[in-house]
Amino acid sequence: MKRRTFLKRLFGGIITLFGLSGGTYYYAREIEPNMLDVHYIDIHSSKTPSAFEGYKILQFTDTHIGFQYTIDQLEELIDKMNQLEPDMIVFTGDLIDNPRTYQIDERLISILGRLKARDGKFWIYGNHDHGGYGTDILKDVFQQSGFELLQNGHRQIDKNGDMIYLAGIDDVLLGRPDIEEAIAGISNEQLTILLAHEPDYADITKDYPIDIQLSGHSHGGQVQIPFIGYIYTPHLAQKYVEGKYEIGSYPLQLFVSRGIGTTRLPYRFFCKPEITVYQLKKS
């Protein structure tokens, strides 16, 4: 860690400690984690086929159910997402905070199963999904809920004779990601979207014929201090933390979501949870 980064986090941590132990504690723990943002973002690409103009992709990520986020909150979230009427839904990892201890029941499967999208629901593993012996557990939950796993694989999406590709890699930290396998057989001329839990993986993605990467994992830092910024982000979410980035000479368009839940510390401060609706546009 660079000295400047260390001092920034140390100073920010001190402010956080005193600030959250005072008047902002209740806000950061009880109020802001429930203040959901719905972001609408247009993604422009010359590869967008005519039939996919205005195509809506809804991303949600990092719910971390069982730490602070509850099954009741998930049910409310599902209702909100269905009201947005997306063409496609993608989940980019970390459904449950600790699969080892969380007791999964039929209600979770039923709630996820209620999500509706015209062209399907897709998901990838996050590091928490693989952790705590969660690999097979989460795979079964999503399969019963009608989600398709993109674990180093892709799906062709067809619409009125046009097509785009949605690809996904295994979690970078605890899985076995293989980007070449994920996009094998995809033409360079087709619009390709990659789901990758860890955003910093974009530095690898940019060297492949991929146009867009959707990621989570960072939580946007969870706690952001004015004039200082975020205090901490996990490994492989330290370079790209939230929002849009353009990477490489092509460039690759990377979008990083702050996600829904919290982990490690049950706070959000100047970093509200979010879901994102992307609309494809011809540039």
Q: What are the residue ranges spanned by the domains of the chain? A: 1-34, 37-282
User: What local confidence, expressed as pLDDT, does residue 9 receive?
Assistant: 57
CB 257 within 8 A of CB 242: yes
**Separation between Cα atoms, residue 136 and residue 142, nearest integer Å:** 10
Q: In what order do the strands lie in the sheet with 192-195?
A: 153-159, 162-168, 192-195, 212-215, 252-256, 243-247
For each of the chain's 283 residues, which pLDDT tens digit applies?
555 555 455 555 555 554 555 567 778 888 889 999 999 999 999 999 999 999 999 999 999 999 999 999 999 999 999 999 999 999 999 999 999 999 999 999 999 999 999 999 999 999 999 987 899 999 999 999 999 999 999 999 999 999 999 999 999 999 999 999 999 999 999 999 999 999 999 999 999 999 999 999 999 999 887 777 888 899 999 999 999 999 999 899 999 999 999 998 898 988 999 999 999 999 8
User: What local confidence, expressed as pLDDT, does residue 228 receive?
Assistant: 77
**Separation between Cα atoms, residue 152 and residue 157, nearest integer Å:** 17
User: What local confidence, expressed as pLDDT, does residue 4 receive?
Assistant: 52
User: What local confidence, expressed as pLDDT, does residue 15 receive?
Assistant: 52
**Separation between Cα atoms, residue 106 and residue 113, nearest integer Å:** 10
Helix (H, G, I), strand (E, B) or coil at 136: helix
Strand partners, 277: 40, 58
User: What local confidence, expressed as pLDDT, does residue 20 receive?
Assistant: 53
- Contacting residues for 244 by C-beta, under 8 A, at least 6 apart: 41, 253, 254, 255
Domain 37-282, architecture per CATH: 4-Layer Sandwich (3.60)
Q: How far apart, in Å, do the first and last CA atoms of the chain sit?
A: 39
